[in-house]
Amino acid sequence: MRFDSLLESLGGTPLVGLPRLSPSADVRLWAKLEDRNPTGSIKDRAAFYMIQQAEKEGRLTAGCTILEPTSGNTGISLAMVAKLRGYNLICVMPENTSSERRQILEMWGVRIISSPAAGGSNEAVRVAKGLAAEHPEWVMLYQYGNEANALAHYETTGPELLADLPTITHFVAGLGTTGTLMGVGRFLRERVPDVRIVAAEPRYGELVYGLRNIDEGFVPELYDASVLTTRFSVPARDALRCTRELLEQEGIFAGISTGGALHAAIGMANKAVKAGERADIAFIVADGGWKYLSTGAYNGTLEEAEARLEGQLWA
Amino acid sequence: MAIEVRIPTILRNLTDGAKAVDGKGGTLDELFADLEARHPGLRARLVDEKGLRRFVNVYLNDEDVRFLGGLGTVVADGDTVTVLPAVAGG
């Protein structure tokens, strides 16, 4: 495959079957390898669409500074696109994210502003909104509320999945900004009768939920519950176990949030087997495992890995 | 046997610091009413006149109850109910 530039190579990722983890010939699991994007994660799609949209609207012009709250992958994707297009980037990132993400952002010349670990991404969003108010000249793309994020998946990820798997019955992905699930979910619902759209939400350690008040919670503006069939909260241990299973059984080295999506996908597969229904279940491999090596997710026993993840933002 | 209800850090002032409390009931609504008898004030933090509060997520055996039956979700002995504040990802 030949492309005129790196950005042109975005998307078009492989969908691979999981012959060992699929329970039967009638109930099959399929992994969409989003780590095969230019910076190694699914966030490249949203970052490219958000920047392109802001350029079209005239909000972004050469030399502009972009501000974004991110736990890592979106920042890395924005850094690449910003570099190629001549923008500066400031990322507000919770201090409890893996060191690889920080190193990669710094490598691209991104300025990182840390937000407190307690409260996780909620705090990063709050800090970024405050900075945006103080600096009206900065452009906040705001992945949690930017329709271009969901649109990227409506126009690219969704059509790719349906073209590769016309018999799809379930779509499973991690829930963060909700952009992937909203975009792919809407696209599939318009075309596949009774398709099941399933969210796998990471359940972090207590520190991340350490908000001062329960009314300070956060629901992304993009989120529309009517697109989803159901939503699971996946504990770190289940996500870790499935991340390792994917590596051992199918040879796929994925990040920890992928284990969460796989856990929910296997749950749906078992349900289909019990009900005697056929199923083609596609789930998203959001990124590879490289950026999480320092978290210790892949070494030692599950208990040790789980203990090391406590308090970290692993998705 | 009872239903185990896991309480997030910010609500443990209402459960004497307990991370999990036991309760009973046939539905989530009845379970919360049962908890209220021993932990006054807890129900009002989870539920308002419209149902579950916007920034409160409740999971029955890890599945979001908003997709099951909301406060009418059927619960049974041996189930685990997890209460968490809504947080951002990404």
- Catalytic-residue membership of A129: no
**Residues B81, B58 contacting (CB under 8 angstroms):** yes
From the candidates A22, A32, A43, A115, which is the catalytic residue? A43
B64 contacts in chain A (CB < 8 Å) = 201, 230-233
Q: Do B9 and A235 touch (CB under 8 A)?
A: no
B10 contacts in chain A (CB < 8 Å) = 209-214
Instruction: Please state the domain extents for chain B.
Output: 3-85
Three-point CA angle A202, A229, B50, nearest 5°: 85
d(CA B10, CA B20): 13
Q: Give the CATH number of domain B3-85.
A: 3.10.20.30
Distance from CA of A118 to the nearest CA of B (A): 11
H or E segment and range at residue A165: none
d(CA A271, CA A274): 5
Integer Rg of chain A from CA: 19
d(CA B57, CA B26): 19
pLDDT at A99: 87
Interchain contact B66–A (C-beta under 8 A): yes
- Catalytic-residue membership of A56: no
Q: How far is CA A26 from the centre of its chain?
A: 28
pLDDT at A204: 86
Question: What are the residues whose beta carbons fall under 8 Å from the beta carbon of A271, sequence distance 6 or more?
Answer: none
Mean pLDDT by 10 residues, chain B (90 residues): 93 95 97 97 95 95 97 97 85
pTM summary value: 0.95
**Residues A202, A230 contacting (CB under 8 angstroms):** no
The architecture CATH gives domain A7-36+155-309:
3-Layer(aba) Sandwich (3.40)
A144 contacts in chain B (CB < 8 Å) = 88, 90
Question: What are the residues whose beta carbons fall under 8 Å from the beta carbon of A63, sequence distance 6 or more?
Answer: A86, A87, A88
Report residue A145's pLDDT band, with 50, 70 and 90 as the boundaries.
Answer: very high
Distance from CA of B86 to the nearest CA of A (A): 5
d(CA A102, CA A188): 35
Strands, DSSP E only, in A95-179?
111-115, 139-140, 170-174
pLDDT at B29: 97
Q: H helices within A145-285, ranges in order?
A: 147-152, 158-164, 179-191, 236-250, 256-275
Per-residue tokens: B86 = 């809504």
pLDDT at A89: 97
User: Is the model's pLDDT at A74 over the cut of 80?
Assistant: yes
pLDDT at A212: 67
Give me the interface pTM, i.e. the ipTM: 0.94
pLDDT at A241: 97
Distance from CA of B63 to the nearest CA of A (A): 4
Lowest mean per-residue pLDDT among A164-178, A211-225, A240-254: A211-225
- Sheet arrangement for strand A88-94: A111-115, A88-94, A65-69, A139-140
H or E segment and range at residue A109: none
pLDDT at A206: 80
Q: Do A219 and B86 touch (CB under 8 A)?
A: yes
- Which amino acid appears at position B12 of this protein? R
Q: Give the CATH number of domain A43-140.
A: 3.40.50.1100
Interchain contact B2–A (C-beta under 8 A): no
Cα-Cα-Cα-Cα dihedral sign, residues B19, B22, B25, B31: negative
Q: Do B89 and A125 touch (CB under 8 A)?
A: no
Question: What are the residues whose beta carbons fall under 8 Å from the beta carbon of A133, sequence distance 6 or more?
Answer: none
- Across the strands, what pairs with A29? A281
Nearest CB neighbour to B90, from listed A74, A210, A228: A74
C-alpha pair distances (Å), A280 with each of A17, A22, A160, A260, A310: 10, 10, 15, 18, 34
Per-residue tokens: A117 = 């670990």
Per-residue tokens: A213 = 């008040």
C-alpha pair distances (Å), A96 with each of A69, A266, B27: 14, 29, 38
Where does residue B24 fall: left (phi above 0), alpha (psi -120 to 50 degrees), or beta otherwise?
Answer: beta
Distance from CA of A43 to the nearest CA of B (A): 9
Nearest CB neighbour to B10, from listed A175, A213, A315: A213
DSSP structure class, residue A57: T
Residues 5-64 of B with CB under 8 A from A: 8-11, 45, 53-57, 59, 62-64
Q: Do B67 and A216 touch (CB under 8 A)?
A: no
Tens of pLDDT, residues A180-216: 999 999 999 999 999 999 999 999 888 778 766 777 7
Per-residue tokens: A81 = 């696109």
Residues of chain A with CATH 3.40.50.1100: 7-36+155-309, 43-140
**Residues A18, A262 contacting (CB under 8 angstroms):** no
Question: What are the residues whose beta carbons fall under 8 Å from the beta carbon of A142, sequence distance 6 or more?
Answer: A68, A69, A128
Per-residue tokens: A165 = 């798997």
User: Is the model's pLDDT at A77 over the cut of 70?
Assistant: yes
Q: Do B90 and A233 touch (CB under 8 A)?
A: no
**Average of per-residue pLDDT values in chain A:** 94
